[in-house]
Amino acid sequence: MADQDKLGADWGDDELDAIVADYFAMLRAEKTGEPFVKAHHRRALMEQIGRTNRSVEFKHMNISAVLRCLGLPTIKGYKPKFHVQASIVDAVERYLTAYPTALSLDQAVGPVTRIAGVSEASALFEEPPPLLVATNLEPQTDRLARLVRKFDPTERDARNRALGTAGEALIVDFERTRLVQEDRRDLASKVRWVAQEDGDGAGYDILSFDRTGRERLIEVKTTHGIGTTPFFLSSNERSLSDERPDAFRLYRVYEFGPAPRLFKLRPPLHQAVMLEPTTYRASFR
Distance, CA of 155 to CA of 144 (rounded, Å): 17
* pLDDT tens, residue by residue, 45-90: 999 998 999 999 999 999 999 999 888 889 989 999 888 889 999 9
For the chain, the C-alpha Rg in angstroms (whole number) is: 21
- Closest C-alpha among 127, 79, 93 to residue 254: 127
| Buried b or exposed e, range 123-142, using 16+ CB within 10 angstroms | ebeeeebeeeeeeeeeebee
Contact 124, 168 (CB under 8 A): no
Distance, CA of 38 to CA of 23 (rounded, Å): 10
Per-10-residue mean pLDDT, the chain, length 285: 67 95 92 88 92 93 93 90 89 94 60 41 79 60 89 88 93 96 97 95 96 98 90 94 97 89 95 85 79
Residue 5 is predicted with a pLDDT of: 63
Residue 16 is predicted with a pLDDT of: 96
* pLDDT tens, residue by residue, 205-240: 999 999 999 999 999 999 988 898 999 999 999 999
- Dump the DSSP string for 21-80: HHHHHHHHHHHHT----HHHHHHHHHHHH---HHHHHHHHHHHHHHHHHTT----TT---
Contact 55, 15 (CB under 8 A): no
